[in-house]
Amino acid sequence: MRISVILPTHARETVIREALDSILAQTRPADEIIVIDDGSPGDMAVALRPYSGRIRLFRQENAGVAAARNRGVALATGDWLTFLDSDDLWRPDRLAVLERDLAEADGDVVAHLGNVLYTGEGYAEDLFAIKGVDFPRGRAARLQDPLAFVISGMTLQGAAIRRDALAAAGGFDPSMRMLSDTAFFCQLALVGPFLVTGDILAELRRLPGDRNAVTRLRRTAGHYAQEMHVHYLERLAARDLTPAQRRLAHRHLSGACFLLAQSLFSSDRAAARRMLRRSASIHPSPLKGWLKAAIAGAFGPIGFRLFTARNDMLDRS
């Protein structure tokens, strides 16, 4: 089994070495490491000169993280593809855990996911705790229908994806400046079953003063983030789904439309009300959907707050 690592980067010359060192310190070495410099203004080749011969470095004009990942996928030679961002770290046994679990897996498994730890000033919390799910440590559990697990958000740093399954899912949407990873996982969940372990495989760091973090954009462009939620859920809902998957997709799409209406309300009340009607019309429980829309439309911010309870932990990394 050949494992490729794809590491996109932009203007992170000061921290990327830590990410690369965590890859090179793996107890089960990677078969290749591909770094995609997504149009960094500095000289990434000079910064990475100490890694010459151990990595493959490619530069492209700045096109965003999704395009950089797609470029890395096209260049990779492994049959299993893994990913790390240039400000994050892998645990030393990250690839050993992958190999351990795949050795026991059926041939139809398309992805392997592990837990990740979000860290920053004053906090550390793992993804599975945030999502309220529990998976075994020391082994992996099989998810026959993984859509419910990934639809609310999933990250690539703890994922390994079979090359042909990634192609079947369509790769990463380069038009999305954020949430392209979750959008991808929603499509991948329709391709085949996943393996999931509770072992923590990566640390996703919120570094002080980092102006290039995608989550900074999520905070400063909240309206765009909600548009991207609606975008990937509309794309999902248009697929050929089982009745249970369709209900799940419509419930999440209804919620995304509701949050987009909330972000529109102060600037374009007419557009917000149109989005509220869309939210209500696709809600799996019509009475509840129309009740939420009516209260939010009538009472504005107070009405919206009655139905929204945010957990910002995923925005920290």
Cβ(290)–Cβ(257) below 8 Å: no
Number of domains in the chain: 2
Same domain, 28 and 109: yes
The predicted pLDDT at position 314 comes to: 39
Domain that holds residue 229: 221-315
Same domain, 209 and 85: yes
Same domain, 30 and 163: yes
Q: Which residues of 231-240 are buried (b: 16+ CB within 10 A; e: fewer)?
A: bbbebbbeee
The predicted pLDDT at position 28 comes to: 98
**Mean of pLDDT values over 33-41:** 97
Residue 105: strand, helix, or coil? coil
Integer Cα distance of 118 and 317 in angstroms = 6
Q: Domain boundary at 216, 249, 281, which?
A: 216
User: From the centroid of its chain, how far is CA 99?
Assistant: 22
**Mean of pLDDT values over 9-26:** 96
pTM for this entry: 0.91
Is pLDDT above 80 for 315?
Answer: no
Same domain, 192 and 306: no
**C-alpha pair distances (Å), 137 with each of 158, 167, 279:** 14, 29, 39
Cβ(36)–Cβ(68) below 8 Å: yes
Is pLDDT above 50 for 250?
Answer: yes
Cβ(126)–Cβ(118) below 8 Å: yes
Report which DSSP code applies to 107. T
Query: What would the pLDDT profile of 132-188 be if each residue is shown by its tens digit?
Result: 999 999 999 999 999 999 999 999 999 999 999 999 999 999 999 999 999 999 999
Query: What would the pLDDT profile of 264-294 be if each residue is shown by its tens digit?
Result: 999 999 999 999 999 999 999 999 999 999 9
Integer Cα distance of 227 and 238 in angstroms = 17
Query: What would the pLDDT profile of 183-213 be if each residue is shown by its tens digit?
Result: 999 999 999 999 999 999 999 998 776 554 5
The predicted pLDDT at position 126 comes to: 94
Query: What would the pLDDT profile of 53-107 be if each residue is shown by its tens digit?
Result: 999 999 999 999 999 999 999 999 999 999 999 999 999 999 999 999 999 999 9
Q: Domain boundary at 216, 242, 269, which?
A: 216
Is pLDDT above 50 for 317?
Answer: no
Percent of the chain with pLDDT over 90: 88
Backbone angles phi and psi of 125, in degrees to 5: -150, 145
Same domain, 77 and 209: yes
The predicted pLDDT at position 206 comes to: 87
CATH number at residue 203: 3.90.550.10
Confidence of residue 214 (pLDDT cuts 50, 70, 90): very low
Residue 295: strand, helix, or coil? helix
Residues 6+ apart with CB under 8 A from 124: 117, 118
The DSSP result for 257-278, as a single string, is HHHHHHHHTTT-HHHHHHHHHH
**Mean of pLDDT values over 34-51:** 95
The predicted pLDDT at position 96 comes to: 98
**C-alpha pair distances (Å), 83 with each of 118, 174, 270, 306:** 16, 16, 42, 38
Q: Domain boundary at 161, 191, 216, which?
A: 216
Confidence of residue 217 (pLDDT cuts 50, 70, 90): very low
Confidence of residue 313 (pLDDT cuts 50, 70, 90): very low
Integer Cα distance of 145 and 19 in angstroms = 32
> In terms of Cα–Cα distance, which of 310, 113, 84, 123 is closest to 206?
123
Same domain, 57 and 115: yes
